[in-house]
Amino acid sequence: MDPGRQTMSYSEMSSPKCLTEKGIQPLTHFDKKVTELETRQKTLENIVSVLSRELNRREEAPGVTLGEAMARILSLEEKVEHQNSLLAMKDMMIGSLVTRINTLEQTTYDGCFLWKIPAVGLRLQEAQAGIWPFLYSPSFYTSRYGYKLCLKLFPNGDGTGAGTHLSLFLVLMKGEYDFFLKWPFRHKVTFTLLDQINKNHISTSFRPLESSSSFQRPVSETNVASGLPEFCPLNVLHAPQTNYICNDTLVIQAVIDTKLPSS
């Protein structure tokens, strides 16, 4: 850790549900399922259409009893209900697919991550009211088969920065290739708050404390977050001459030095 900075850890309340690299593979599976459902839907529509025509024809013919007509109507209603269920299932699968694609678009594999946080004013109000004190970023990776990470931001601060600073932490997540990686995590971390117009960025670096449980191989879905409770003073963030917030959006960059640290 850099001089003057102390890495602090905080218990996780929940972890984001983010797409891993394998998340790319199920897309074909979803496409097939959606196609199958659409085919079944069209088949059912044809069946309902044929049955409806047959019902109309028979109702016009003599000798059709009211009971028979009602039975056919009930059968048609069951077919329609089943079709509606299939349509609802298809909508859920499409929604899940869209979520996976959106997550995939935000995932990086080079240890450099840009996090755009919209509606910052609302996020700060929620944090001040204790409704939602922190935010998680999407996950990112140090390499294609590297460490899986995300960021945790307290808009109104946490710990020694509570009420006075933005607090920003790194979270190690359980990854698919953890067995292949070296532990503890030892790579230098740099957080940067971007000035979106004048480039007067605020940047702070630290090195992980190897004895901390935050940087050991994850046993649960996430390790305890660790980082900078006093990342940026709130009075600096909201100063009129700065441009850290533009269009109610904050942008934070995290860079992991992927070079092997010296022993």
Of 86-90, 121-125, 165-169, 172-176, the least confident? 86-90
Predicted confidence at residue 111, as pLDDT, reads 94
Three-state secondary-structure class, residue 47: helix
Residue 19 has pLDDT above 60, yes or no: no
Q: Give the rounded distance of the alpha carbon of 72 from its chain centre.
A: 48
CA–CA separation, 151 and 148 (whole Å): 11
Note the helical H segments in 10-161.
26-60, 66-106, 120-128
Predicted confidence at residue 85, as pLDDT, reads 82
At residue 77, what is the residue type? E
Residue 190 carries which DSSP code? Answer: E
CA–CA separation, 37 and 26 (whole Å): 17
Predicted confidence at residue 208, as pLDDT, reads 95
Structure tokens at 127: 């944090």
Note the helical H segments in 149-233.
none
Residue 205 covered by a domain:
yes
Same domain as 139, residue 250: yes
Q: How many structural domains does the chain have?
A: 2
CATH assignment at residue 234: 2.60.210.10
pTM above 0.85, yes or no: no
Same domain as 175, residue 54: no
Residue keyed to tokens 């959606």: 34
Render pLDDT for 60-111 as a digit per residue (tens, 0 to 9).
Answer: 555 556 677 778 778 888 888 888 888 888 888 887 776 667 666 668 899 9
Same domain as 173, residue 101: no
Three-state secondary-structure class, residue 2: coil
Sign of the Cα pseudo-torsion (181, 182, 183, 185, in order): negative
Render pLDDT for 132-157 as a digit per residue (tens, 0 to 9).
Answer: 999 999 999 999 999 999 999 999 99
Same domain as 101, residue 115: no
- Compute the radius of gyration of the chain from its Cα atoms: 27
Same domain as 245, residue 116: yes
Same domain as 160, residue 122: yes
Of 81-95, 104-118, 169-183, 197-211, the least confident? 81-95
Residue 222 carries which DSSP code? Answer: B
Predicted confidence at residue 74, as pLDDT, reads 82
Domain that holds residue 119: 108-256
Predicted confidence at residue 32, as pLDDT, reads 72
